[in-house]
């Protein structure tokens, strides 16, 4: 044993020494690691500060160049500045100008640069949508692979619009990050105001030059030889703006050194990462310290072993004396222990028994083999309402009639055997002569020298009351169910609609209206399937799949089917269904049936009548179109001969004959106008009207119509005033058809205006819902239009009640005009002027194709209506 202890102490000392040496080795490694990390953080701080200094120097250099260029000619100065600044060893890779272009200046700017204003979307240049301001590239040098194309709108990328506005309104240069080739590539530019607030100077930065030191006089070593620098913009945290080691994956661990700097209106996040993992190494001084510690621990272990050898001899002497003393004490303890164990077991048994009896919430009564009560716990005394001492030695039959022994010659064991091992209900006779319903459990307990019974008594009076209440509730619910069933049956029979209660697609209850509708008897319906009432089994299954999934979702379903009566007659029926409880499909569904055969017959008749009317209208329209075309051919011949007759009569001096020919020509012209209107209306109704819509001069179209109507207006001293804003108004139109609309409106205005009146024709450009619209109006000084006729006058063959009596006309001009404006995706309306007279106005979108088909490259569109 002493030898084992000595060996154990030696092993423990060696293990402890090894642990101390390993701890010292780990501490030395951590010290070296901390020093290397501190050195890496120093290089990171130096590198990030260097990049920020480079960016600020580039911003200041840009501001100086903008001031120099503002005093010279921009075109010549930009080329000269590009030759001086854009070099291989320079920080700048390109130089250009960005212009501020308002919406009304867009066309002029695009003509000046000979290209459209575009923006970059999904790595493709697309036409820039209409907006209030643009920032397109006006020029860029040199024209290499890194050059920005002319007309590229820079305000479509991230926060570029905000930075461009800030640079334009201040003298401070702004840093403009962008992604010209999509996600994964970055571009870094500097923008600053160039003289005024409508031109910006743009300089592209070489990202590789930003990561180089300024000069050897500033630092003695390049920090990028020790750390990797990554720079993000706060507005674009996903892709770094600058990377000192491009091509390598982005680190996922936190940087060793980070800082935030606000440069050129951007908040930059700079981080420095280690290029190589930090591997600590021990120096020669550390190894010397570690060896000295090892020799010191070895010396201490040797001294410990010598001390243990001296202590071993002393322990041997003490052990001999202690063994003698323990032998004497052992004999005495054995004698005392046997006696204490016997007394303790007896006391524990009695205490356990008393504790069980006293603490039990159930009444417990101990019964002797003779049938007398040995002991009762406090719960039993409370139940009987007597003290526990007064119950001792009483026959148990005094309390429980079930255990009463009427024959004194029989033993209690015979009665107890009938109830032993299973609970039973009986009555407890209390001291107040009341019987309390209880539940007894009788068990036999066998002792080494005797046996007795343990009775557990539970009060079940509350349970009995609850059972009686449940019985009363059950009877009450049964009565209510019976009453509700009778009420439901009365409601079903009183309803004029056919109703049925269906469970698992079998009829459980129907009303009298259902039997009459399906011509059935009650005994042939209840309990039978609903399949015979459908046309076929396939229809019955298809309807079930379609409707019962909706019923189980709690929805009210409705459908129309052809069903079959009991006499095999088909009729159309409308069904309404609702589940009694969607969560319990077994409770069934309620259905209402309505005969709609008459309604379906009327609908079918109306459908055939509508088809017949449409065919009749189409035949009438085609006949009218053909007849108008056939009538124009001889009418043209008549007009030609009347003109020849006018010329011949004028040359012969036949004034009366010339008047006759003039009247014939006038009437023929009116008839030709009527035929043209009828032909146009017929073409519109059959969808054969052709439109050629392209970019045209709407101002010229209006001026030609006004010039054409001026001679007719001059006959009544009526003046036509044309006003266009802007003066040259271009839009996507069919010039011939729009001219026809203007001539119809001017013809009506001249026809209904009094002598010496003025007709105002106005056209202007407006923006609504982000789209450009052209608004044209014709205002006259005529009698006006009644309010209730402002809409109906655009119908065919309809004239205003205030003008149709004396001015003539067919009532087709406004109807044709409305169809033409609708073909241009516009709208036309009429209204009365406050000072008298009427005003007709129409609006059409300026860009027809952009309104109809976004992105269509064709410049014209031909439609057939």
Two structure tokens written together for 296: 């010191």
Contact 258, 270 (CB under 8 A): yes
Dihedral pair phi/psi, residue 324, rounded to 5°:
-65, -40
**Is the predicted pLDDT of residue 281 greater than 90, yes or no?**
no
Is there a single domain that holds both residue 591 and residue 604?
no
Region 211-220: mean pLDDT is 54
The domain that holds 625 is classified in CATH as 1.10.287
Which of 595, 628, 656 delimits the end of a domain? 595
Asked, for residue 660, whether it belongs to a domain, the answer is yes
Number of domains in the chain: 6
The order of strands in the sheet holding 187-194 is 137-141, 92-99, 196-205, 187-194, 174-178
**Is the predicted pLDDT of residue 803 greater than 60, yes or no?**
no
Query: Within 13 Å and on the Cβ side, how many CA atoms surround 662?
Result: 8
Q: What percent of the chain has pLDDT over 90?
A: 5
CA torsion through residues 356, 357, 361, 367, sign: positive
Beta carbons within 8 Å of 580's beta carbon, 6+ residues apart: 587, 588, 589, 590
Asked, for residue 11, whether it belongs to a domain, the answer is no
pLDDT band at 853 (very low <50, low <70, confident <90, very high): very low
**Is the predicted pLDDT of residue 809 greater than 60, yes or no?**
no
pLDDT band at 800 (very low <50, low <70, confident <90, very high): low
pLDDT tens-digit series, residues 625-661: 666 666 767 777 787 878 888 788 888 888 788 787 8
Asked, for residue 310, whether it belongs to a domain, the answer is no
Asked, for residue 454, whether it belongs to a domain, the answer is yes
Q: Does the bond joining 726 to the residue before it have cis omega, within 30 degrees of 0?
A: yes
Two structure tokens written together for 586: 């077994």
Between CA 160 and CA 154 the distance in angstroms is 7
Between CA 207 and CA 198 the distance in angstroms is 28
Higher pLDDT, 218 or 231: 231
Q: Report the pLDDT value the prediction gives residue 75, as an integer from 0 to 100.
A: 62
C-alpha to C-alpha distances, 114 to 106, 109, 129, nearest whole angstrom: 12, 8, 18
pLDDT band at 839 (very low <50, low <70, confident <90, very high): very high
| Block residue for tokens 């009527």 | 674
**Is the predicted pLDDT of residue 523 greater than 80, yes or no?**
no
Between CA 439 and CA 392 the distance in angstroms is 21
Is there a single domain that holds both residue 676 and residue 655?
yes
Is there a single domain that holds both residue 587 and residue 545?
yes
Is there a single domain that holds both residue 743 and residue 787?
yes
Least confidently predicted of 485-489, 494-498, 724-728, 782-786: 485-489
Is there a single domain that holds both residue 613 and residue 728?
no
Q: What is the DSSP string of 356-382?
A: HHHH-SSEEEEE-TTSBEEEE-HHHHH
Sequence length of the chain is 865
The domain that holds 372 is classified in CATH as 3.30.450.20
Two structure tokens written together for 623: 């006949």
Is there a single domain that holds both residue 182 and residue 69?
yes
Asked, for residue 807, whether it belongs to a domain, the answer is yes
Asked, for residue 135, whether it belongs to a domain, the answer is yes
Between CA 88 and CA 105 the distance in angstroms is 38
Region 543-549: mean pLDDT is 84
Q: Report the pLDDT value the prediction gives residue 448, as an integer from 0 to 100.
A: 72
Higher pLDDT, 112 or 678: 112
pLDDT tens-digit series, residues 361-376: 788 888 887 888 888 8
Is there a single domain that holds both residue 65 and residue 161?
yes
Which of 595, 621, 652 delimits the end of a domain? 595
Instruction: Give residue 417's Cα distance to chain centre.
Output: 77
pLDDT tens-digit series, residues 93-126: 899 999 999 989 888 888 888 889 888 887 788 8
Is there a single domain that holds both residue 826 and residue 730?
yes
Is there a single domain that holds both residue 513 and residue 615?
no
Residue-range definition of the domain harbouring residue 151: 45-274
Between CA 105 and CA 100 the distance in angstroms is 9
Contact 733, 764 (CB under 8 A): no
pLDDT tens-digit series, residues 33-60: 888 888 888 888 888 888 888 888 888 8
Dihedral pair phi/psi, residue 253, rounded to 5°:
-80, 160
Contact 12, 311 (CB under 8 A): no
C-alpha to C-alpha distances, 307 to 17, 293, 302, 311, 844, nearest whole angstrom: 18, 22, 9, 6, 114
**Is the predicted pLDDT of residue 2 greater than 70, yes or no?**
no
Contact 103, 132 (CB under 8 A): yes
First-to-last alpha carbon distance for the chain, in angstroms, is 117
Is there a single domain that holds both residue 202 and residue 59?
yes
**Is the predicted pLDDT of residue 74 greater than 70, yes or no?**
no
Asked, for residue 734, whether it belongs to a domain, the answer is yes
Which of 570, 595, 620 delimits the end of a domain? 595
Between CA 713 and CA 757 the distance in angstroms is 10
pLDDT band at 865 (very low <50, low <70, confident <90, very high): very low
């Amino acid at each position: 044993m002493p030898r084992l202890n000595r060996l154990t102490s030696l092993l423990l000392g060696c293990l402890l020494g090894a642990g101390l040496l390993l701890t010292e080795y780990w501490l030395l490694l951590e010290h070296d690691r901390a020093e290397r990390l501190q050195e890496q953080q120093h290089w990171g701080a130096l590198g990030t500060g260097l990049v920020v200094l480079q960016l600020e120097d580039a911003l200041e250099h840009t501001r100086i160049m903008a001031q120099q260029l503002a005093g010279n000619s921009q075109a010549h100065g930009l080329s000269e500045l590009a030759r001086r600044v854009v070099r291989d060893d320079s920080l700048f890779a390109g130089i250009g100008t960005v212009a501020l272009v308002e919406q009304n200046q867009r066309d002029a700017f695009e003509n000046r640069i000979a290209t459209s204003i575009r923006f970059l979307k999904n790595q493709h240049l697309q036409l820039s949508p209409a907006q209030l301001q643009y920032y397109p590239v006006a020029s860029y040098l040199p024209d290499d692979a890194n050059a920005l194309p002319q007309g590229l709108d820079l305000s479509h990328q991230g926060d570029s619009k905000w930075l461009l506005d800030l640079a334009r309104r201040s003298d401070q240069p702004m840093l403009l990050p962008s992604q010209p080739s999509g996600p994964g590539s970055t571009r870094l530019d500097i923008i600053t105001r160039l003289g005024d607030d409508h031109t910006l100077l743009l300089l592209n930065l070489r990202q590789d030059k930003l990561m180089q030191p300024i000069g050897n006089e500033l630092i003695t070593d390049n920090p990028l030889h020790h750390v990797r620098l990554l720079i993000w913009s706060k507005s674009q945290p996903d892709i770094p703006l600058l990377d000192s080691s491009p091509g390598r994956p982005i680190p996922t661990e936190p940087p060793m050194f980070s800082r935030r700097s606000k440069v050129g209106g951007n908040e930059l996040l700079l981080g420095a990462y280690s290029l190589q993992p930090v591997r600590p190494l021990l120096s020669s001084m550390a190894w010397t310290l570690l060896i000295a510690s090892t020799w010191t621990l070895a010396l201490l272990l040797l001294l410990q072993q010598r001390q243990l050898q001296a202590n071993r001899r002393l322990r041997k002497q003490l052990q001999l004396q202690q063994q003698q003393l323990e032998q004497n004490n052992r004999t005495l303890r054995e004698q005392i222990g046997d006696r204490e164990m016997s007394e303790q077991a007896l006391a524990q048994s009695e205490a356990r028994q008393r504790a069980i009896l006293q603490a039990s919430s159930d009444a417990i009564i101990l019964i002797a083999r003779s049938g007398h009560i040995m002991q009762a716990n406090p719960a039993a005394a409370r139940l009987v309402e007597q003290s526990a001492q007064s119950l001792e030695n009483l026959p148990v039959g005094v309390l429980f009639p079930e255990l009463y022994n009427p024959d004194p010659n029989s033993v209690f064991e015979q009665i107890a055997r009938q109830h032993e091992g299973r609970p039973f209900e009986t009555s407890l006779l209390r001291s107040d002569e009341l019987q309390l319903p209880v539940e007894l459990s009788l068990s036999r307990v066998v002792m080494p020298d005797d046996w007795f019974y343990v009775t557990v008594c539970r009060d079940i009076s509350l349970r009995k009351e609850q059972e009686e209440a449940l019985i009363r509730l059950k009877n009450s619910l049964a009565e209510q169910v019976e009453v509700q069933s009778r009420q439901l049956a009365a409601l079903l029979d009183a309803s004029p609609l056919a109703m049925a209660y269906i469970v698992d697609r079998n009829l459980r209850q129907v009303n009298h209206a259902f039997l009459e509708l399906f011509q059935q008897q009650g005994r042939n319906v209840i309990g039978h399937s609903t399949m015979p009432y459908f046309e076929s089994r396939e229809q019955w299954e298809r309807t079930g799949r379609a409707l019962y999934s909706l019923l189980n979702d709690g929805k009210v379903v409705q459908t129309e089917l052809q069903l079959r009566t009991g006499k095999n007659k088909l009729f159309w029926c409308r069904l309404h269904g609702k589940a009694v409880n969607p969560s319990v499909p077994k409770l069934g569904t309620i259905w209402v049936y309505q005969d709609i055969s008459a309604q379906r017959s009327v609908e079918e008749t109306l459908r055939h009548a509508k088809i017949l009317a449409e065919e009749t209208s189409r035949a009438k329209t085609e006949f009218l179109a053909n007849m108008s075309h056939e009538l124009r051919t001889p009418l043209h011949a008549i007009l030609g001969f009347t003109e020849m007759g006018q010329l011949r009569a004028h040359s012969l001096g036949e004034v009366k004959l010339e008047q006759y020919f003039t009247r014939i020509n006038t009437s023929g012209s009116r008839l030709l106008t009527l035929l043209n209107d009828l032909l146009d209306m017929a073409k519109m109704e059959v969808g054969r009207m052709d439109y050629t819509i392209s970019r045209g001069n709407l101002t010229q179209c209006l001026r030609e119509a006004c010039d054409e109507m001026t001679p007719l207006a001059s006959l009544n001293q009526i003046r036509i005033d044309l006003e266009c804003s802007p003066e040259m108004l271009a839009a996507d139109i069919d010039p011939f058809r729009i001219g026809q609309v203007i001539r119809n409106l001017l013809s009506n205005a001249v026809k209904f205006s009094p002598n010496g009146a003025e007709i105002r024709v106005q056209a202007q450009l407006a923006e609504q819902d982000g789209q450009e619209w052209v608004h044209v109006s014709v205002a006259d000084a005529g009698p006006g239009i009644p309010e209730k006729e402002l809409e109906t006058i655009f119908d065919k063959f309809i004239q205003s009640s205030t003008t149709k009596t004396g001015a003539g006309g067919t009532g087709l001009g406004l109807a044709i005009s409305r169809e033409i404006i609708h073909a241009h995706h516009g709208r036309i309306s009429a209204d009365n002027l406050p000072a008298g007279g009427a005003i007709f106005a129409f609006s059409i979108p300026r860009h027809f194709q952009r309104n109809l088909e976004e992105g269509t490259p064709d410049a014209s569109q031909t439609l057939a209506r």
